[in-house]
Amino acid sequence: MLPLYYLQWHITHACNLRCAHCYQREYKSHMPREKLFQALDQFGELIAGQEVQGQINLTGGEPLLHPDFFPLAEEIRRRGYRLGILTNGTLVDRDMAVRLASLSPVFVQVSLDGTEAVHDSIRGEGSFERAVSGIDALKRSKVKVLVSFTAQKSNAGELAALARFCGRHRVDKLWWDRVVSEDPALYVTTGQFRALVETTNALRKKKWFPGSRRFVSNGRALQFGDAGTDDVYRCSAGQRLLVLLADGSLMPCRRLPFVIGNIREASMKEITEHSELMAELRRPRIPKGCERCPKLPRCGGGSKCVTFARTGELYCRDVNCFYQDRHIPEKECRKSRETPGQPGYTVPAAKEVQE
């Protein structure tokens, strides 16, 4: 099987929710229909000859609010790309679920941030009930459903209850990751993070998701340590992942605040081939504090986006790594900016960088 090259495509910034941890600043931009298909052409040009399989994950905002969602999704499938759909689930009724099933997506992902009261405190009153109704409609239409849980200080104790709930609703996979936000009060502590890891391992052993097709995943969130699984995630920003926003901005990762270009001014291929940041992200580096760690070959140092948000440094050990003998003080990860491509280079900590 060919390796996957992912395009996370925010086709609209419009959204019917206002989540407390959302990193979006405006809620109006749509990518016009003609630009959608031009962007799809550019993605094909980008991956041509790379010996990869393209996967396009449509998201937003709320992607189902885009008036051309279905024509685009149908064209993605017609061209042979894998299709993922990331939604808050609140707009999915029986008819919508049937239409989504007709696209044969590899998954539809719905966000749940805890049980009802906690979820609604983060995403808005009534959003939990509507999202769960959407999940049930998707499962009745035989769609593979993933639930994404964004771990933050206020909901860190919710994972076990949410896993049981997802099991009852036949969710195929529950996975979690840590919040990235401008508000430091939202971040989980290392103690909370370790408890989440231990809870996840216990959930897997107890098979609270019965059957071989349904499971709780900590691969993406963990990135180091004893995951109880072989699916430990390595950051793929700058390698086989691109993010396209509704205004045409191109990024190596949605949770790293760097814009490398705009497809209205140059093609995806041109932008990625000439981006110093993309080249820097592809260059092998050993993060500070990971030099002697036996877990490094598996995790690559952990989550760049979480660590950068907390320290302003891309190449420092994960801020929640609980291998205490490998720790260095967080303040030591803050470095002066040097020349791109040189040892110790730190990308400017501005919210957007246009190369």
352 pLDDT exceeds 80?
Answer: no
The yes-or-no verdict on residue 338 having pLDDT over 50 is no
Give pLDDT tens digits for 128-144: 999 999 999 999 999 99
pLDDT score of 13 more than 70: yes
State the chain's mean pLDDT as an integer.
Answer: 84
Q: Is the pLDDT of residue 328 over 60?
A: no
Q: What is the mean pLDDT of residues 91-110?
A: 98
Query: How large is the average pLDDT for residues 306-320?
Result: 87
Task: List pLDDT tens digits, range 150-169.
Answer: 999 999 999 999 999 999 99
Under a CB-based contact definition with an 8 Å cutoff, are residues 171 and 147 in contact?
yes
**Residue 226, C-beta contacts closer than 8 angstroms, at least 6 positions apart:** 197, 201
Residues in contact with 121: Cβ distance below 8 Å, sequence separation at least 6, in sequence order: 20, 154
Specify the pLDDT at position 235: 78
Please spell the DSSP secondary structure of 130-188, one letter per residue. Answer: HHHHHHHHHHHTT--EEEEEEE-TTTGGGHHHHHHHHHHTT-SEEEEEE---S-GGGSP
Q: Residue 255's pLDDT is what?
A: 86
Q: What is the mean pLDDT of residues 331-355?
A: 36
Over residues 276-289, mean pLDDT = 88
Q: Under the phi-then-psi rule, with left for phi > 0, alpha for psi from -120 to 50, and beta for the rest, what region is 249?
A: beta
What's the pLDDT score for residue 318? 87
C-alpha dihedral, 57 to 58 to 61 to 65, nearest 10°: -160
Contact call for residues 88 and 82 (beta carbons, < 8 A)? no
Strand runs (DSSP E) across the chain, as ranges?
A: 4-10, 53-59, 82-87, 107-111, 145-151, 173-178, 215-217, 241-244, 249-251, 261-262
Residue % of the chain over a pLDDT of 90: 56
Q: What is the pLDDT of residue 268?
A: 97
Average confidence (pLDDT) over 25-40? 89
- Per-residue confidence (pLDDT) for residue 351, from 0 to 100: 34
pLDDT band at residue 355 using 50, 70 and 90 as cut-offs? very low
- The more confident residue out of 22 and 325 is 22
Mark residue 28 as left, alpha or beta (left: phi above 0; alpha: psi -120 to 50; beta: remaining).
alpha
Backbone phi, then psi, for 54, in 5-degree steps?
A: -80, 135
DSSP 299: H
pLDDT of 326 higher than 50: no
User: What is the average pLDDT across 42-58?
Assistant: 96
Count of other CB atoms within 10 angstroms of residue 9: 26
Contact indicator for 30, 14 with CB cutoff of 8 Å: yes
At residue 267 the predicted structure's pLDDT band, cuts being 50, 70 and 90, is very high
pLDDT-based confidence at residue 24 (cuts at 50, 70, 90): confident
Q: In what order do the strands lie in the sheet with 53-59?
A: 215-217, 173-178, 145-151, 107-111, 82-87, 53-59, 4-10, 241-244, 249-251, 261-262
Task: Find the helix packing angle between 69-78 and 33-47, rounded to 10°.
Answer: 20
Distance CA 339, CA 343 (A): 8
Angle between helices 190-206 and 159-168 (to 10 degrees): 30
Query: Is pLDDT above 90 for 261?
Result: yes
Q: What is the pLDDT of residue 163?
A: 92
Q: Which of 103-117, 211-225, 247-261, 316-330 has the highest mean pLDDT?
A: 103-117
Identify the pLDDT of residue 233: 63
Per-residue tokens: 220: 């993406």
157 alpha carbon, distance to own chain's centre = 21
Residue 213 CB coordination number (10 Å): 10
pLDDT score of 218 more than 80: no
pLDDT at 27 over 80: no
Q: For residue 250, what pLDDT band results from cuts at 50, 70 and 90?
A: very high
Whole-number pLDDT of residue 207: 59
